[in-house]
Amino acid sequence: MSRFVYADHAATTALSDTALNAMLPYLKEEYGNPSSLYRFAGRAKAALEQARADVAACLNAKPEEIYFTSGGTESDNWALRGVAELRGKKGKHIITSAIEHHAVLHTAQYLEKQGFEVTYLPVDAQGRVSPADVEAALRPDTILVSIMAANNEIGTIQPIGEIGAIARRAGVLFHTDAVQAVGHIPVDVEAWNVDLLSLSGHKFHGPKGVGVLYMRKPLRLPPLIHGGGQEKGRRSGTENVAGAVGLAAALKEAAAGLETEAPRLCALRDRLIDGLLQIPKSRLTGPRDGRLPGSASFVFECIEGESILLRLDNAGICSSSGSACSSASLDPSHVLLAIGLPHEIAHGSVRLTLGRENTDADVDYLLETVPKVVAGLREMSPLWEG
């Protein structure tokens, strides 16, 4: 079995050649510290500022609204904890959803321990947050609404523009974790009415360990990371120049290719979904339409997602089961429970996320392999009655 199919693009993506080549000078000869005053370091500083301008242009933001961080997790932490610190005297109520990434959920739980009150909005069977629910949950003491733009497990794209408009009208700050959206669907901070937006380089073929928090002017969150005062005093630490340059190059490349790549991936994804739904007692998780271009996610009754994953790995296929992020626990994914799946069915979840290097031949191989693996495991399952 020599075939290798990487179908876990929601977990991470390969660094693109464009991003790597843009980074190389800043990993080698252009190693100056952007804060130093000589011209040699000025070139690193200029590259960092060009990266900031390029990221801003891709989001319809201003360069001064872009802050580089260590990734999506830090950006999410900063957004929630920053607003809590900034507005905590005005109110202690935060609205988020039940299907957020743990970077948001665990930060919200941390804030609950600090005396904040958090409403976790439910979602419908497709994983959608209703804008009317957001509106109904608003209170005079609400200081923040945080709803992810697209879900990492089931691909659901949220009505972010509508939710943002509701928050804006109520004078409440709005954050979106757009880590799965940026580089994959059009993102526009104006159209979306967002005040804060998180993104991460490695989810769109940039490097790992670098992300961005977009902060709408004149909003100025207090820093999460204290120190030498980099990023206008908001995020200290010597700048990851190569990382920022690589993130910006990858984002520009993804944005430029979006118009052709998104429909190509949608076609591959739909063929994969149609094919795998032929498997008896299988269902799609998340919506049929209104999902991320490369995202296909399923539950197969009477088997464990982890055992499918291991067999697929033996066949050269990289996949994920919904519970990958909490593999230490036996609980099924909070997302699958939130869309109303019973525990025993949620255990049989498999996520296949396609991306730039996947081809029609990869989908053929998935369509040939996954049904065999599912049938093989079911034969061994005491729960399966054919």
Ligand X SMILES: *Cc1c(COP(=O)(O)O)cnc(C)c1O
Return residues touching ligand X (CB under 6 A).
71-73, 76, 101, 103, 148, 152, 177, 179-180, 200, 203, 211
Q: How far is the CB of 158 from ligand X (least distance, A)?
A: 11
Task: State which residue, 202 or 311, has the beta carbon closest to ligand X.
Answer: 202
Q: How far is the CB of 148 from ligand X (least distance, A)?
A: 6
Q: Which of 348, 367, 351 is nearest to 359 (CA)?
A: 367
Q: How far is the CB of 208 from ligand X (least distance, A)?
A: 7
State the Cα–Cα distance between residues 136 and 129, nearest whole angstrom. Answer: 12
Contact 306, 293 (CB under 8 A): no
Q: Report residue 214 as tokens.
A: 């977009």
Task: State which residue, 93 or 101, has the beta carbon closest to ligand X.
Answer: 101
Rg (CA), the chain: 21
How many residues are there in the chain?
386
Task: State which residue, 123 or 303, has the beta carbon closest to ligand X.
Answer: 123
Task: State which residue, 245 or 377, has the beta carbon closest to ligand X.
Answer: 245
Q: Which of 81, 70, 133, 87 is nearest to 104 (CA)?
A: 81
**In the complex, residue closest to ligand X by CB:** 72
Q: How far is the CB of 105 from ligand X (least distance, A)?
A: 10
State the Cα–Cα distance between residues 88 and 81, nearest whole angstrom. Answer: 10
Contact 111, 139 (CB under 8 A): no
Taking residue 152's Cβ as centre, other Cβ atoms within 10 Å add up to 28
From residue 234, alpha-carbon distances to 65, 107, 163, 176, 221 in Å are: 11, 19, 27, 19, 8
Q: How far is the CB of 304 from ligand X (least distance, A)?
A: 23
State the Cα–Cα distance between residues 376 and 363, nearest whole angstrom. Answer: 20
In angstroms, how far is CA 123 from the centroid of its own chain?
18
Task: State which residue, 203 or 347, has the beta carbon closest to ligand X.
Answer: 203
State the Cα–Cα distance between residues 253 and 72, nearest whole angstrom. Answer: 19
Q: Using N-to-C axis directions, what is the helix angle for 102-113 and 72-87, rounded to 10°?
A: 30
Catalytic residue among 266, 302, 318, 325: 325
Task: State which residue, 55 or 138, has the beta carbon closest to ligand X.
Answer: 55
Q: How far is the CB of 146 from ligand X (least distance, A)?
A: 11
* Whether residue 318 lies in the annotated active site: no
Catalytic residues: 325
